């Protein structure tokens, strides 16, 4: 089975059919026939610009002409050649010299896209984060907001020699543009800029205002970039001021003989938990029964032995994805198709489907709160008892859960073990156990790195959700007329659950209609590769399709009376 997973905070969609349990092992009773129900995963028709159809046709010819490939590659490659790396710990803008490349990228955008910079109003927030405003003729219409980020994940110096082409070369080999950021997310940034520049060249004048917002530290929490951009836009435009928002996210893949597009309509929450054990020091020749490190190891093991319970509900976006696969993927195993369809009204079938999902670690991770012990430390010398040991557990919080629920879970799992070791226990600022005698040491669990984030609001996708219909119709129109559709096949659009946290976490107040989507083909042909690792590269066809998508979206949203 082909489903989708979003990698880290980046909205990269991966095909992970090879990870799914062989569906022939699924023992189910035929619960429904193979009939098609139009009410399950309803699809919008392709939406093409009408009032501005000539503009769209003109630009479509430009983008579909192979002669445009090297120009597009150079525009993306020029941005890749600026090493705008962001790190988990950076001093503020103006104090840390590692921000200086962002000024070079700002200048590159200004000189490379002259019409954007002469026609749209540009505002710099916190030095290098950018907002562009393209005024429309009707101020009563809510604007369209397109976002991306300028920063990239740093390149490990020891891996530079492993790259086919240098990581900041922006090298174009006739098929791929190579380099850090070519996929994540300078492709999205430059595709938006090309789209707007091209529309300006064509003479298009929007009815609906268009706003572009480009953060500077999405790969490092977004607090210097998107957080301040979001605050600026709320102050200037107000809450719920935008018709819809599109940021990086899902893409195109293959699902049982059918093509699937998966815009992210939700994201999991986030919490890092510091587990700290303090106990008396001393000489290692006279060790106690348990050292701080030994006790910490027990706490870490206890957490791993007690994962969060999983539950597949009809409200989670993954359930909607499964419904779309069952309805529109012709080669899906008939038994699994029947279980998915029956689960709409049968709790028994829903439990069977939940059990199936739980058998695969990747799918299970999308419906449950996850925990990963990622950092650990303690001790300074082999002959000195460690007085402190610590570990950090990273949690990605399920859509139906909350930060508070995660805190309660971790507290309850560790409480008894703290008593067994005769440790005082403080959990998230609260004293948990009361000692009648002196404690041997202390267990403290707390939020690390000021990291807590509730799960994102789920974007409406129902019959009355006009922005989702326009987005879906735009995706289909772009696909039907573009380079990805080489066999004339149909495309299914399915809402999806993001696994990471993009810059949209700071834009929740701006609109209810947030979509995380890159029109990138990530199927077996490898159009996108290497996000956050060696040999990151972007297929030029996919990059141009992203650009065509943004042009079509801007025109369709501009013409929509329903939004």
The active-site residue out of 15, 60, 151, 527 is 151
* 171, 179 contact by CB (below 8 A): yes
Would you call 85 a catalytic residue per the annotation?
no
* 275, 176 contact by CB (below 8 A): no
* 135, 204 contact by CB (below 8 A): no
131-134, Cβ contacts within 8 angstroms, sequence gap of 24 or more: 131/211, 131/212, 131/213, 131/214, 131/229, 131/232, 131/233, 132/196, 132/211, 132/212, 132/213, 133/209, 133/210, 133/211, 134/196, 134/206, 134/209, 134/210, 134/211, 134/212
- Residue 184 is assigned to a ligand binding site: yes
If 0-12 CB within 10 Å is exposed, 13-18 middle and 19+ buried, where does residue 344 land? middle
* 45, 388 contact by CB (below 8 A): no
Would you call 39 a catalytic residue per the annotation?
no
The closest of 436, 435, 441 to 421, measured between CA atoms, is 441
* C-alpha–C-alpha distance, residues 540 and 236, integer Å: 37
Q: What are phi and psi of 521, to 5 degrees?
A: -85, 115
| Residue 182 DSSP class | T
For the chain, give percent helix, strand, coil, nearest 5: 35, 20, 45
- Residue 247 is assigned to a ligand binding site: yes
Q: What are phi and psi of 88, to 5 degrees?
A: -60, -35
Alpha-carbon distance values, 389 to 168, 210, 299, 375, 438 (Å) = 39, 51, 11, 11, 20
- Residue 232 is assigned to a ligand binding site: no
The active-site residue out of 15, 60, 85, 218 is 218
- Kind plus residue range of the DSSP H or E element containing 107: helix 100-112
- Residue 283 is assigned to a ligand binding site: no
The closest of 274, 277, 275 to 293, measured between CA atoms, is 277
Could you list the active site residues?
A: 151, 218
Q: Which parts are annotated binding residues for Zn(2+)?
A: 149, 184, 219, 247, 532
């Amino acid at each position: 089975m082909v489903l989708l997973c979003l990698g880290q905070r980046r909205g990269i969609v991966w095909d992970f059919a090879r990870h799914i349990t062989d569906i022939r092992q699924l023992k189910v009773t035929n619960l429904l026939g193979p009939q098609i129900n139009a009410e399950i995963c309803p699809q919008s028709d392709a939406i093409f610009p009408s009032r501005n159809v000539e503009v769209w046709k003109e630009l479509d010819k430009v983008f579909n002409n192979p002669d445009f490939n090297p120009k597009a590659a150079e525009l993306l490659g020029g941005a890749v050649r600026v090493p705008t790396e962001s790190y988990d710990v950076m001093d503020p803008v103006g104090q840390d010299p590692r921000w200086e490349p962002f000024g070079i990228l700002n200048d590159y955008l200004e000189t490379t896209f002259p019409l954007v910079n002469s026609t749209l109003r540009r505002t710099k927030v916190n030095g290098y984060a950018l907002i562009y405003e393209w005024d429309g003729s009707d101020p009563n219409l809510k604007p369209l907001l397109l976002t991306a980020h300028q920063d990239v994940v740093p390149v490990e110096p020891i891996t530079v020699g492993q790259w086919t082409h240098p990581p900041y070369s922006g090298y174009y080999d006739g098929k791929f543009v190579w380099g850090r950021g070519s996929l994540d997310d300078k492709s999205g940034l430059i595709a938006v800029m090309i789209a707007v520049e091209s529309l300006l060249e064509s003479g298009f004048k929007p009815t609906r205002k268009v706003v572009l917002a480009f953060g500077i530290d999405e790969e490092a929490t977004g607090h210097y970039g998107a957080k301040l951009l979001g605050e600026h836009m709320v102050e200037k435009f107000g809450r719920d001021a935008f018709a819809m928002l599109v940021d990086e996210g899902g893409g195109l893949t293959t699902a049982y003989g059918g093509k699937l597009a998966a815009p992210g309509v939700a994201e999991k929450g986030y919490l890092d938990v510091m587990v700290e054990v303090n106990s008396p020091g001393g000489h290692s020749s006279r060790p106690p029964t348990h050292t701080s490190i030994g006790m910490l190891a027990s706490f870490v093991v206890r957490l791993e032995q007690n994962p969060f319970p999983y539950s597949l509900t009809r409200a989670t976006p993954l359930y909607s994805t499964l419904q779309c696969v069952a309805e529109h993927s012709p080669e899906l195993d008939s038994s699994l198709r029947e279980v998915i369809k029956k689960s709409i009204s049968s709790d028994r079938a829903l439990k069977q489907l939940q059990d199936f999902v739980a058998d695969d670690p990747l799918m299970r991770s999308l419906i449950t709160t996850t925990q990963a012990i990622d950092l650990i430390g303690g001790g300074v010398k082999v002959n000195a008892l460690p007085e402190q040991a610590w570990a950090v557990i990273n949690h990605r919080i399920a859509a139906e859960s909350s930060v508070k629920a995660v805190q309660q879970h971790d507290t309850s799992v560790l409480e008894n073990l703290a008593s067994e070791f005769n440790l005082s226990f403080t959990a998230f600022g609260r004293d948990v156990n009361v000692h009648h005698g002196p404690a041997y040491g202390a267990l403290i669990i707390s939020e690390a790195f000021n990291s807590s984030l509730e799960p994102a609001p789920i974007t409406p996708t129902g019959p009355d959700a006009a922005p989702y219909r326009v987005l879906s119709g735009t995706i289909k129109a772009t696909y039907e007329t573009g380079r990805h559709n080489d066999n004339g096949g149909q495309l299914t659009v399915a809402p999806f659950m993001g696994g990471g946290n993009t810059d949209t976490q700071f834009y929740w107040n701006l609109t209810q209609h947030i979509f995380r989507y890159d029109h990138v083909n990530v199927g077996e042909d490898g159009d996108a590769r290497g996000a956050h690792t060696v040999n990151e590269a972007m297929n030029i066809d996919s990059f141009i399709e992203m650009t065509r998508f943004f042009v079509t979206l801007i025109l369709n949203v501009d013409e929509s009376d329903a939004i």
